Amino acid sequence: MASARSTRASAAVERLKRRTGVTSYSMARTGDGAFFLSERPGAPPLCAPLELDDFVVFVDGLGPQPEKRITKNDAAFEKQLVRKKP
């Protein structure tokens, strides 16, 4: 179970690296299983040690956010909603 936890946390860090273009972000784990993020190995942490879910939310909230993909049908539906408002 610990490897799945680390995989989910490291995947969040990899997404952050892709979004920001900064490849030096580093994740570490405390002895009690909490995670924290640094700008590079050995640098001060950017957050207090967090549980897995909180860590993933924190990391996913950093940097530029990916644009939401919208289908042609969704776009057409949004246009209809705008027209129907009084």
pLDDT tens-place string over residues 13-24: 999 999 999 999
- pLDDT tens-place string over residues 29-74: 999 999 999 998 889 999 999 999 999 999 999 887 777 788 888 8
**Long-range CB contacts (within 8 A, 24+) of 12-18:** 12/55, 12/56, 12/59, 12/60, 13/37, 13/59, 15/59, 15/60, 16/59, 16/60, 16/62, 16/63
Please report the pLDDT score of residue 5 as a whole number.
66
The number of distinct structural domains making up the chain is 1
What's the pLDDT at 73? 85
Q: In terms of residue numbers, what domain contains 38? A: 2-84
Higher pLDDT, 25 or 86: 25
In this predicted structure, the answer to whether residue 2 has a pLDDT above a threshold of 70 is: no
